[in-house]
Structure 1
Amino acid sequence: MTRLPLGTPGSWVKAFSLLGSGAIVLGLLYWLKGVLVPIALALLLTFLMSPPITMMQRRGVPRFGAVLVMLAVVAALLGGIGWTVAHQATRLVDEFPLYERNLNAKIAGLKRDERGFVARLERIVGRVSRQLQKAEVLPAAEGGPARTVRVVEDGGALQITKLWNTFGPVIEPVSMVAFAFVLVVFMLLRREDLRDRLITLAGQARLVPTTKMLDEAAGRISRYLLMQFAINSCHGLAVTAGLWLIGVPYAFMWGLIAGVLRYVPYIGPWIAAIFPLLLSLVISNSWVPALQVLLLFAVLETVSNMLVEPVLYGRGIGVSETATLVMVAFWTWLWGPIGLLLATPLTVCLVVLGHYVPALRFFDTLLGDRPALAPSARFYQRLLARDRHEAGEVAAEHAGTAGLLGVYDELMMPALCYARRDLERNALDEADVEFVVTAVADLAARLAADPQVGVDPAAPVAPPDRAAPAAAMPLLVVPVRDPCAAAAAGLLEQLLEPGGFSLDTCDPGALASEVAAELEARPAPVVCIVTASASALAYAQLLCKRLRTHPLQPQLVVACFGRQADVATARTALTSAGADRVATSLAEARAELAALRSQLVNAAVPGCDTAHDDEALGQEALRGA
């Protein structure tokens, strides 16, 4: 997708077009909720009922019979639950006068303090109520008394307005539920046909992503609904048992309400706790039952959120916790209580759409639970914000799994290359780049000094070597005209085997003639040229050509970092200029230098058991090269 520069007329037109399109979509979702809500509810019930129906079909039950059995089970379950709740609620209302004495005693205890909060609140409410109940008084005529007028509304003979105001709010949800029930029946009977029509609508060319999208959405939502049903059922049974042990009447009804309201994310269980909590206040003169009810719900929520849900959900539904709360508020505002119930499944569908549809990728970014930034980008972003502490946390977390080599190669080297690239684009200034280079060097030194961080956790542990340690071989490191390249050279030095090389690093701004003079003054059999940007390739080629004609004829290793593309072209160009080996990562450069050292030592001193000092080994290696 083409990205227009920010601030151009085209970018503003595109932004306003997106805002207009979003406003139109929101308007359609709101005005068509009478149609969309039953469809969404029917899809939710279809996802919930499909796995049991599929299991019955695999056991030889016809599709029509399996659907009828499932619908009968659901109808019986809902009917039994409704009858039980209505019966116990009626009994609770009938028996409430028995608990009125305890309630009055608690209220009297709170009202004893005339200057307390409850008493003052009661007086304020009383005054406001008396003001609202006053009749409308017309101003008196001159010389006459004030007249009280009573307004009577006449709704007509049939009083259609009054009937609609009474039954209208009930008719709409009942019709939605009936429409959703009919849709569920047809969706369950014609599930495969509907799926094939959706795939055909997407187009034959998008057969693979559409199939994966439908399967992933169905799998995520079905898994979420089944696991949520199991968790909520267990939660309701636990609430029932706990309230029965505490002595709260009608524990089964409160447990059933708790299991149902737990479908409302985060706040549902605490709404369900209000009813038994209030009842516990009136069944006893003591405050102990109320505290026990609070403790029961707190313990159950902690166990469910910290132990049960992570185990049963596994990888989860792919939606972040913050996004879940935001989308719950959004769908509730848009569609009311039904939106509260449908919020999580609808958000899952948006995340899956964003994962497979490029134009809707922002849904996956904003709502998904996958990291929005790669570790290297996150590390670099924290350095740009000059937040060394969080950058150090990112590096330490990555070091726990990837080791020192992984942190240097996957976090720090990309940060140095990004800084050099942004400097060339005038997005950063010299001070910003200097901070990035300094921070990378400091963090690398701290990680290297940590004994708990290994160089490469994936490398096998070598047996202890009882032979005498090998002497260090001289190595001339040439960072190519860049502080970032100098910092990369420092990272490479820390990764080399201890005692393997004796490093001599040139100044980053050294000219080719100065590098040749340095090599003449301090002979080294190996020269490592380090670049941190694609623009340094030409100068690296010049150095290779110049050093290839040097009388010492050193081995040339070019560590070419910061090239995500045309790596093969860079290798060919550097090899043609005289480079013996080309590496594009710190791990590869480390391996190439170690292999080259072994090769030079064996060629210079055949049969040697590494019992030479630094200067002798260097001279022998130079003559062998």
Structure 2
Amino acid sequence: MTAAQNHRARRTAEPADMSGRGAVAEPVHASSVQRFRIGAQDPTPFEDSATFWRTMAQLATILMAAIMFGALLYIARPLLMPLICALIVALTIGPLTGYAVRRGLPAFVPAGIIVVIIATVLYLTIMLLSDPVSDLIARSGEIGATIREKFRFMDRPLNALKELQSAISGPSTLSVDVSKPTDLIGSVLGTVTPAMLQFVLFFATLFFFVLGRNAMRQYIVNIFDTRDGRLRALKIFNDTERSLNAYLLTVTSINAGVGVVAALVTWLLGFPAPLLWGALAFALNYIPYVGPGIMHATLFLIGLLTFDTLLPALIAPALFMTFTFIEGHFLVPTIIGRQFLMHPLGVFLSLAFWAWLWGPIGAFLATPILIMAVVAADHLYPRNKGTLPE
């Protein structure tokens, strides 16, 4: 039987409806199935598979080098963190020191002034905040008990969550040996000594970076043999200094205003140690997205400790959240310029990576490192200003 005869046989076998027309046997048409098909549409095979695998081999080599470089950054973080901090500060104040040297001052004069100013600011900050911090540490037991009392309504869901975790993963096998006394002096020395060494390394590196700024510029430029390569290296160096100077000095001024507002709000609401919360707001505002969120939560907890009810505790976070929203969405873009602002996803990924790698210091360094990388990438691979169709 031919295909046409089979088709006619199927048509005659279909039941007829009341109007004499044949009923539809399949409720879903072939066009609908084709429209919702999952998978590649009209795939095209490789013209040269050897080129594809050669590219994959190059990508694998780059990936292995990136993993090894990340391991180096993690292992050498006690050495690299103060060096990178000093480099960023030196590049930020580079235009100012260059201006002073061009006016006839010896290079060691601006280098010494910068080191003295930063050391004095750190010393005064520690002296001003030592008393409120010590008071909070002394009252930590009382503060913890108050917070537990305020959040007692969370005991039942937290206990249910613990029971569910125990049922899934089994009981915890962790044990604490309390028979050995804690070596308090050894733990303190083990924490303070590396920190002091890193401070000394930071200030010494900063001094020599500022002192040898011109020599470093000349060395970097002379690495390249061609005129175009030297010109590109000089542009990268100058634009990096200019970008860091414009961004960090402007953001520092804005963050100082944020700190003043936080201290003023907490003082008017009767919070303890308003200078501490102003300094914390100033420091945390350097960390995009995460820093203001930490400050909002901190003000909420301090409000719970200060007031008896929930509503007054929300006043300080609400006021600070309003101010940081205006600052982040209107003030900073207006002063710095919207064309200088980087993509939010890039800023967030840089923050996540460096915070994971180097902790809180990495979170502070994430945006300056990203600025340096963006400036270098723009000179090496200029971005196309065209837009893709939707």
- TM-score, structure 1 as length reference: 0.48
Would the alpha carbon gap of residues 14 and 166 (structure 1) be closer, same or farther in structure 2, given more than 3 Å must change? same
The one of 72, 83, 87 aligned to 1:28:
72
| 1:73 equivalenced with 2:117 (yes/no) | yes
Q: Distance in 2 between matches of 1:257 and 1:228?
A: 15
Q: Which residue of 2 aligns with 1:338?
A: 361
Asked if the contact 1:239–1:296 (Cα under 8 Å) also holds between the matched residues in 2, the reply is no
Q: Distance in 1 between matches of 2:180 and 2:70?
A: 38
Q: Secondary structure at the match of 1:249?
A: coil
Deviation at 1:354, TM superposition (A): 1.7
Greater RCO, 1 or 2 (C-alpha within 8 Å, sep 6+):
2
Partners of 2:48 and 2:199 in 1: how far apart? 49
Gaps in structure 1 of 5+ consecutive residues: 137-149, 383-625
Please list the CA deviations of residues 174-233 of structure 1 after superposition, one character each: whole Å capped at 9, or x if unmatched.
323321210100111111011101111133431211111111111111111111101111
In structure 2, relative to structure 1, the CA distance for the partners of 1:280 and 1:210 (3 Å cut) is: same
Aligned match of 1:184: 206
Alpha-carbon distance, 1:93 to partner? 5.1
Of stretches 6-15 and 209-218 in structure 1, the one that deviates more from structure 2 is 6-15
C-alpha distance in 1 between matches for 2:361 and 2:138: 31
Question: Is 2:309 aligned against 1:272?
Answer: no
Question: 1:86 corresponds to which residue?
Answer: 130
For 2:261 and 2:95, the matched residues in 1 are separated by 26
Contact 1:48 1:225 in 2 (8 A): yes
1:394-409 matches, within 5 Å, as: none
2:305 equivalent in structure 1: 282
Distance of 1:125 and 1:17 partners within structure 2? 45
Q: Is the 8 A contact 1:30 1:335 kept in 2?
A: yes
Displacement of 1:122: 6.1
Which residue of 222, 225, 232 maps to 1:203?
A: 225
- The alpha carbon displacement at 1:323 in A equals 0.6
The letter of the residue matching 2:297 is: I
Q: Which structure 2 residues correspond to residues 36-185 of structure 1 after superposition, within 5 A?
A: 36-54=80-98, 56-57=100-101, 61-92=105-136, 103=146, 107=149, 111=152, 117-119=154-156, 121=158, 167-185=189-207
8 Å contact kept, 2:73–2:80: yes
- Matched residue type, 2:206: V
Q: Which has the higher helix share?
A: 2
Preserved CA contact (<8 Å) 1:221 1:317:
no
Q: Which residue of 2 aligns with 1:314?
A: 337
Partner of residue 16, structure 1 = 60
Give the Å deviation of 1:52. Answer: 4.4
Equivalence for 1:354: 377
8 Å CA contact retained: 1:5, 1:11:
no
1:419 aligned partner? none
**Structure 2 length-normalised TM:** 0.74
Name structure 2 gaps, 5 residues minimum.
1-46, 166-170
Evaluate the alpha carbon distance shift between residue 227 and residue 154 of structure 1 in structure 2; reply closer, same or farther with a 3 A threshold.
Answer: closer
Give the corresponding residue for 2:42. none
Match of 1:325 among 328, 334, 348: 348
Q: What is the RMSD computed on CA atoms of the aligned residues? A: 3.7
Q: Specify whether residues 251 and 51 from structure 1 end up closer, same or farther in structure 2 by C-alpha distance, changes over 3 A only.
A: farther
Aligned twin of 2:319:
296
Show the counterpart of 2:11.
Answer: none
SS in 1 for 2:93: helix
Structure with more strand by fraction: 1
What amino acid does structure 1 have at the position aligned with 2:83? I
Q: Verify the 8 A CA contact 1:318 1:351 in the aligned structure 2.
A: no
In structure 1, C-alpha distance between the alignment counterparts of 2:113 and 2:194, rounded to whole Å: 28
- Corresponding letter in the other structure for 2:348: L
CA contact (8 A) 1:213 1:353 kept: yes
Q: Displacement of 1:260 after TM fit?
A: 0.6
| DSSP 3-state at the match of 1:202 | coil
CA distance in 2, matches of 1:154, 1:270: 38
SS of residue matched to 2:288: coil
3-state DSSP of counterpart to 1:264: coil
**Residues 280 and 217 (structure 1 numbering): CA distance in 2 closer, same or farther, change over 3 Å?**
same
Counterparts of 1:395-434 in structure 2, within 5 Å, are none
Shift of 1:349: 1.7
8 Å CA contact 2:107, 2:211 repeated in 1: yes
Partner of 2:28: none
Letter in 2 for 1:174: M
Q: Deviations over 1:115-149 (max 9, x none)?
A: x54345369879x9xx989989xxxxxxxxxxxxx
1:390-441 CA deviation, whole Å, 9 max, x = no partner? xxxxxxxxxxxxxxxxxxxxxxxxxxxxxxxxxxxxxxxxxxxxxxxxxxxx
The aligned counterpart of 1:429 is none
**Percent same amino acid among aligned pairs?**
22
Query: Cα distance 1:11–1:69, how it changes in 2: closer, same or farther (>3 A)?
Result: closer
How much does 1:304 deviate?
Answer: 0.5
User: Judging changes above 3 Å, is the alpha-carbon distance between structure 1 residues 199 and 97 closer, same or farther for their aligned structure 2 residues?
Assistant: closer
- Following superposition of structure 1 onto structure 2, how do residues 425-444 of structure 1 map, counting pairs within 5 Å? none
User: How far is 1:169 from its partner?
Assistant: 4.3
Q: Is the contact between residue 53 and residue 70 of structure 1 (CA under 8 Å) also seen in structure 2?
A: no
Change in CA separation of 1:117 and 1:254 when aligned onto 2, cut-off 3 Å: closer
Q: Which moved more, 1:220-229 or 1:271-280?
A: 271-280
Query: Distance in 1 between the 2:333 and 2:178 partners?
Result: 61
Deviation at 1:315, TM superposition (A): 4.3
SS in 1 for 2:223: helix
Amino acid at match of 2:125: I
Residue 303 of structure 1, CA deviation? 0.9
Name the CA distance, whole Å, in 1 between partners of 2:379 and 2:172.
58
1:23 Cα deviation (Å)? 2.6
